[in-house]
Amino acid sequence: MSSEDFRLSFHEARDLLIRRLDERAPGRIQLLAGPRQVGKTTLLLELAERHGDAAIYAAADGPEATLPGFWERLWARAADTASTQGHAVVLVDEAHLLHDWASHLKGEWDRLRRRKLPIHVVATGSSALRIAAGARESLAGRFEQITLTHWSAASLAEMFGVKPRTAVDLLIKMGSYPGAFELRGDLARWSAYVRDAILEPAIGRDIVALAAVRKPALLRQVFGVCVSSPSQIVSLQKIQGQLQDPGALETIAHYLTLLEQAFLVAALGKHAASPARQRAAPPKLITLNNALLAVVDSRGAPDRSTDPRRFGAWVENACLAHAWNSGQRVTYWREQPLEVDGVLEGSWGSWVIEVKTGSATNPELRGIAEFTRRHPGFHPLVLCDDEVRTTVERTGLAAMSWRDFLLHGPPRGEAGPSRPKSR
């Protein structure tokens, strides 16, 4: 997790913004970034309803934003509202679409501070790339960034009134975009929505529009390789070998970074004591929402009974993506022939996890046992099917259902790392 922002669920982000907007104005600008179609506009509209006549909502992608004098009219209205209502809350949706948005916002915020006008400002953007770049360049010291992340299974269950287990199963097969979730009964319509409202704008506009992308076709190919390799460790050389238009390894690494900043794919590094070993190790590719796997893979979601290996990869991908989306620092560990699926560090504590959707024999658990021996500060945790939990626990390793992990994260309040029994 970046030290510059919080990754929060919809409800956490809403509650945090409510508290901050109750503080004395003018406070720091609140920048709300995040993936497409996770509820940023909905959140702004809820805040507008909460503040009533004191709220001013402006959509930067609306036709009025293209008219001359948009900024001037917006802030004049904010000043009038603050005068009549005692305070104002300016809510700018998709702010990064406005020309020179960060410089304009900086000028207005500085003016608010000088005049001590009681006006709060919240701005959103689907492109973390542009929001972050603009904020760093012009808004240093004037903003706080919040990242509204991909929805969890628990959020889906709460919002849509489905059983928690059902929410987990649907998250594995169809991801967790709330707008797409409503279309889950019509697969063709669901697929079109994910492609046209989420995937294509993210790659075709949010990333490709940046000057840093010199080869848009290559970027799309890199994304295709990533989503075809969920939860796999893949070297940059191997990625390069699968591309129709091979590029330099530095370009491929750069495009992986852009895909992560667009909340599409995360290239996990290796857990190693030496920074040099971390940089030299190949990345582990995680797609940050399983909906992207389902819409790109022509085979669709895997059936556990007929394609258990691909199903297991999707479950592992969902578990590691859930940790990443929850703001944890996620890496992997491999020392041939041993390997563990994920190493988690952050607000959850320090965990090393192994994801199993079938058997969990002693030889298959040697990696997590060895990692725990070398790194006793980490809690070992095997995420498995309910029917094999007892088998795992007999080895001295903690175990929980991967479904429970996707709903609640790891156990809370552990007294100390578990110690595997000698074998």
Work out how many domains the chain is built from and give that number: 1
State the pLDDT at residue 134.
54
Give the least confident one: 80-84, 111-115, 134-138. 134-138
- Three-state helix/strand/coil letters over 160-223: HCCCHHHHHHHHHHHCCCHHHHCCCCCHHHHHHHHHHHHHHHHHHHHHCCCCCCCCHHHHHHHH
CATH code for the domain of 14: 3.40.50.300
3-state secondary structure of 351: strand
| Residue 58 zone, left/alpha/beta (φ > 0; ψ -120 to 50; rest) | beta
* Amino acid symbol at 33: A
Q: Determine the pLDDT at residue 391.
A: 92
Rounded Cα distance, 33 and 202, in Å: 13
* Higher-pLDDT residue of 262, 142: 262
Which among 180, 178, 179 is positioned nearest to 191, based on CA atoms? Answer: 180
Q: What is the pLDDT of residues 17-28, one digit of tens each?
A: 999 999 998 888
Nearest-angstrom CA–CA distance, 382 and 368: 8
Of the two residues 213 and 10, the one the predictor is more confident about is: 10
Label residue 1 by pLDDT band (50, 70, 90): very low
Q: List the alpha helices (DSSP H) in 232-307.
A: 236-241, 249-261, 275-280, 290-296
Residue 378 CA, chain-centre distance (Å), reads 24
For residue range 74-85, list pLDDT tens digits in order.
Answer: 999 999 999 999
In a domain, 71, yes or no: yes
Residue 107: domain span: 5-148
Average pLDDT of 313-335? 96
Return the pLDDT at 420: 45
Q: What are phi and psi of 7, to 5 degrees?
A: -105, 115
Q: What is the pTM of this model?
A: 0.89
CA distance 13 to 31: 11
Q: Using pLDDT thresholds of 50, 70 and 90, give the confidence band for residue 4.
A: very low
Average of per-residue pLDDT values in the chain? 89
What pLDDT score does 144 carry? 87
pLDDT at 140: 58
What is the reported pLDDT for 130? 59
| Residue 415 within any structural domain of the chain | no
- Residues β-bridged to residue 90: 56, 121
**Which residues are CB-neighbours of 162 under 8 A, at least 6 positions away?**
156, 170
For residue 285, tell me if it sits in a domain: no
What gap in Å lies between CA 253 and CA 247, rounded to an integer? 10
Does the pLDDT value for residue 411 go beyond 60?
yes
Give residues with Cβ within 8 angstroms of 40, minimum separation 6: 32, 34, 93, 124, 126, 148
Residue with more model confidence, 242 or 132 = 242
- pLDDT classification of 207: cutoffs 50, 70, 90: confident
Please tell me the predicted confidence (pLDDT) of residue 423.
37
Note whether residue 88 is domain-resident: yes
419 within a domain of the structure (yes/no)? no
352 class by beta-carbon count within 10 Å (0-12 exposed, 13-18 middle, 19+ buried): buried
Q: Dig out the tokens for 388 from the structure.
A: 């094999």
| pLDDT confidence of residue 419 | 43
Q: What are phi and psi of 321, to 5 degrees?
A: -65, -40
Residue 251 has pLDDT above 80, yes or no: yes
Query: Exposed, middle or buried, 233 (CB in 10 Å: 0-12/13-18/19+)?
Result: middle
Tell me, what's the pLDDT at 3?
39
Residue partners of 42: CB distance under 8 A and separation at least 6 = 10
**Tens-place pLDDT, residues 29-88:** 898 988 989 999 999 999 999 999 999 999 988 888 888 888 889 999 999 999 999 999
Q: What is the rounded CA–CA span in Å between residue 26 and residue 392?
A: 55
- Tens-place pLDDT, residues 146-168: 899 999 999 999 999 999 999 99
Residue 130 belongs to some domain of the structure: yes
Cα–Cα dist 104/109, whole Å? 9
DSSP H or E run through 390: helix 389-393
Top mean pLDDT of 8-12, 102-106, 349-353 is at 349-353
Residue 64 lies in a domain: yes
Within-domain flag for 204: no
Q: Is the pLDDT of residue 417 over 80?
A: no
More confident position, 417 or 279:
279
| 3 state DSSP class of 122 | strand
Q: Which helix (H) or strand (E) holds 89?
A: strand 88-93
| Cα–Cα distance, 407 to 159 (Å, whole number) | 14
For residues 264-276, average pLDDT = 90
